[in-house]
């Protein structure tokens, strides 16, 4: 058991963002690969943007991916776990306040009476004059008398951190040493006028008190890390190790916006992707295995292979095509039973009554589709004909396969051959079709494709003999008969 403790500290804003998922997974992986502890802490300090429903939605994302926490808040009926709670930032307000006040008493923070409007105006002026927008430090050197006087006036104040002189270095596990001149930071607020802590204070206090040893997070926090290091030092907490990884970029290379489809990891569930696929893909979005030329990983395998050292410094774009490929790989790796269980609900959701078939039959159905499915959702396209009559035949295929000379004769031959089969299975069907081709001297495809059209209404799907066996003799013959009368109704055939 190591003492590694890492955390994911998302702000519950509605759903689990793909970038948050990636950060969470790397932290989880570090914890799991070292026998450490993975903590979930909700950064719900911003009351206006927090809602229990958001928490639920986000945690469902984690749950789907299989990234569970060792310590975390009570949630969805489960009790709080861990000795460092509470795990909701909003419930740690007094601690944050206390630490802020401690900094104040130690002279490491000071009261600032500037109004929001003043600050904003200042910032605007700076931006217009193309200066960096920073707090002027106006209240930094207020005398105790001035402070008392302002307070007596009833002016509200915030607490600002007194940024020390010098330089701050972050020994980042991914980025290397990153140096900041402290001048680059203004005296940032740590406690709002209403007494709530500001993010920077809250994270540092919480990370400190929760004994977090490693902070892996997006490099949008790299500049914040400077503030945090100063705060850790001022508060007298030991410094955790930092690792800032690049953000997930969308397909055009921008920060993956939360408005984009796919920003929510559950969008992918919706689209028929396996959680295994997302795990694998997200891992690859910034990490490579030491073992060269390998892309397929399960969560469990990742657990054994993950090291921070193999995390990449450069940002990666999201590539849908590669995700699709990976999804196919993972689908093919499922057992037929697993695939069945994942695919049946999708059929049901699409109004197909799977209850009319046995479990065993559904397993076989999943099996014959397995090699073909790019996503789980494609099951509808590949197997709907098993559960309902054919509404219409694919027009293009009709033109190509049925609206031709000899189409009817061909179908009748097929009908005859099929009707004559006594033991109805893949092999006997195949033999019957082969006999047909032998007799006609034509390729197998000449018989297979029209039959597929008759049986499924489509040009694509599972292997014909497999599907026909599963459809059953009676139903298959009924559909062939129906197809023949349809072809007849087509009327004259062009030459």
Partner RNA sequence: GUCCCCAUCGUCUAGCCUGGUCUAGGACACCGCCCUUUCACGGCGGCGACAGGGGUUCAAAUCCCCUUGGGGACGCCA
**Contact status: 19 vs RNA (CB under 7 A):** no
Number of residues engaging RNA in binding (CB under 7 A):
89
Cβ proximity to RNA, 327 vs 415, nearer residue: 327
Residue 11 zone, left/alpha/beta (φ > 0; ψ -120 to 50; rest): beta
**Contact status: 45 vs RNA (CB under 7 A):** yes
Which of 52, 74, 184, 353: binder of RNA (CB under 7 A)?
184
Shortest spacing between CB 325 and RNA, in angstroms: 4
Kindly write down the DSSP assignment for every residue of 69-83, as one continuous string: -SBB--BTTBPPBSS
Could you list the beta-strand ranges (E) of 32-120.
Answer: 37-40, 109-112
**Contact status: 115 vs RNA (CB under 7 A):** yes
**Contact status: 72 vs RNA (CB under 7 A):** no
Helices (H), 141-248: 144-152, 199-209, 222-235
Cβ atoms of residues 287 and 311 within 8 Å? yes
Interacting residues with RNA between 251 and 270 (CB under 7 A): 253-255
**Contact status: 428 vs RNA (CB under 7 A):** no
**Contact status: 51 vs RNA (CB under 7 A):** no
Which of 132, 238, 441, 494: binder of RNA (CB under 7 A)?
132
Dist. CA 55–CA 41, nearest whole Å: 11
Q: Which of 116, 183, 258, 313 is catalytic?
A: 258
Cβ proximity to RNA, 41 vs 108, nearer residue: 41
Cβ proximity to RNA, 247 vs 344, nearer residue: 247
Cβ proximity to RNA, 36 vs 282, nearer residue: 282
Nearest to 243 by CA among 194, 309, 300: 309
Kindly write down the DSSP assignment for every residue of 413-471, as one continuous string: HHHHHHHT-SS-SHHHHHHHHHHHHHHHT--THHHHHHHHHHHHSSS-SS-HHHHHHHH
Cis peptide before 86 (omega within 30 of 0): yes
Binding marks (x or -) toward RNA, 217..236, rule CB under 7 A?
--xxxxxx------------
Count of CB atoms within 10 A of residue 447's CB? 22
**Contact status: 27 vs RNA (CB under 7 A):** no
Shortest spacing between CB 35 and RNA, in angstroms: 25
Dist. CA 33–CA 295, nearest whole Å: 19
Residues forming beta bridges with residue 124, ordered by sequence position? none
Cβ proximity to RNA, 30 vs 311, nearer residue: 311
Binding span for RNA by CB under 7 A among 93-101, 143-151, 371-379, 482-490: 371-379
Place of tokens 């929001």: 116
Please state at what angle helix 473-489 crosses helix 464-471, rounded to 10 degrees.
110
Shortest spacing between CB 229 and RNA, in angstroms: 13
Which of 80, 271, 324, 341: binder of RNA (CB under 7 A)?
324
Annotated catalytic residue 108: no
**Contact status: 367 vs RNA (CB under 7 A):** no
User: What dihedral do alpha carbons 263, 266, 272, 277 form, nearest 10°?
Assistant: 80
Cβ atoms of residues 387 and 354 within 8 Å? yes
Cβ proximity to RNA, 36 vs 280, nearer residue: 280
Which of 11, 233, 377, 413: binder of RNA (CB under 7 A)?
11
**Contact status: 350 vs RNA (CB under 7 A):** no
Dist. CA 460–CA 214, nearest whole Å: 51
Which of 6, 15, 43, 232: binder of RNA (CB under 7 A)?
43
Triad 191, 135, 13: Cα angle to 5°:
50
Interacting residues with RNA between 437 and 456 (CB under 7 A): 443-445, 448-449, 452
**Contact status: 371 vs RNA (CB under 7 A):** yes
Distance, CA of 387 to chain centre: 32
**Contact status: 176 vs RNA (CB under 7 A):** yes
Which of 301, 459, 475, 486: binder of RNA (CB under 7 A)?
459
Binding marks (x or -) toward RNA, 133..162, rule CB under 7 A?
xxx--------------------x-x----
Cβ proximity to RNA, 114 vs 260, nearer residue: 114
Dist. CA 35–CA 30, nearest whole Å: 8
Q: List, by residue number, the catalytic residues.
A: 258
């Amino acid at each position: 058991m190591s003492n590694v403790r890492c955390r994911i500290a998302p702000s519950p804003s509605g759903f689990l963002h793909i970038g948050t998922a990636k950060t969470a997974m790397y932290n989880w992986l570090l914890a799991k690969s070292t026998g450490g502890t993975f903590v979930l802490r909700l950064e719900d300090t911003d009351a206006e943007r927090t809602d229990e429903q958001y928490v639920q939605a986000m945690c469902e994302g984690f749950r789907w991916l299989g990234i569970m926490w060792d310590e975390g808040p009570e949630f969805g009926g489960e009790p709080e776990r861990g000795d460092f709670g509470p795990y909701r930032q909003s419930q740690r307000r007094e601690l944050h306040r206390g630490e802020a006040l401690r900094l104040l008493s130690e002279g490491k923070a000071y009261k600032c009476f500037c109004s929001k409007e003043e600050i904003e105006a200042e910032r605007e002026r700076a931006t217009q004059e193309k200066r960096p927008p920073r707090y002027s430090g106006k209240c930094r050197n207020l005398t105790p008398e001035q402070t008392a006087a302002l307070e007596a006036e009833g002016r509200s104040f915030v607490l600002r951190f007194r940024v020390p002189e010098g330089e701050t270095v972050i020994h980042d596990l991914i980025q290397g040493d990153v140096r900041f001149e402290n001048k680059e930071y203004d005296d940032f607020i740590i406690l709002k006028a209403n007494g709530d802590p500001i993010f920077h204070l809250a994270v540092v206090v919480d990370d400190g008190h929760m004994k977090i040893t490693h902070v892996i997070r997006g490099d949008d926090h790299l500049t914040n890390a400077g503030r945090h290091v100063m705060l850790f030092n001022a508060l007298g907490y030991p410094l955790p190790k930092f690792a800032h990884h690049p953000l997930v970029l969308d397909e055009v290379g921008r920060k993956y916006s939360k408005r984009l489809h796919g920003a929510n990891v559950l969008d992918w569930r919706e689209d028929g992707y396996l959680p295994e696929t997302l795990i694998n893909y997200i891992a690859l979005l910034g990490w490579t295995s030491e073992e060269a030329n390998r892309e397929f990983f399960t969560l469990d395998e990742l657990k054994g292979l993950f090291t921070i050292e193999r995390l990449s410094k450069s940002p990666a774009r999201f590539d849908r095509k590669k995700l699709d490929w990976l999804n196919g790989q993972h689908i093919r790796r499922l057992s037929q039973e697993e695939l069945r269980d994942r695919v049946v609900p999708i059929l049901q959701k699409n109004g197909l009554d799977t209850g009319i078939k046995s479990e065993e039959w559904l397993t076989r159905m999943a099996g014959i589709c397995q090699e073909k499915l790019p996503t789980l959702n494609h099951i509808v396209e590949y197997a709907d004909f098993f559960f309902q009559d054919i509404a219409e035949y694919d027009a293009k295929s009709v033109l190509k396969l049925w609206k031709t000379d000899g189409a009817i004769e061909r179908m009748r031959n097929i009908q005859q051959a099929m009707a004559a089969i006594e033991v109805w299975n893949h092999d006997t069907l195949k033999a019957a079709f082969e006999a047909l081709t032998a007799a006609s001297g034509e390729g197998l495809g000449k018989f297979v494709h029209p039959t597929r059209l008759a049986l499924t209404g489509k040009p694509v799907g599972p292997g014909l003999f497999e599907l026909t066996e599963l459809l059953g003799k009676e139903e298959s013959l009924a559909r062939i008969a129906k197809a023949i009368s349809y072809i007849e109704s087509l009327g004259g055939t062009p030459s």
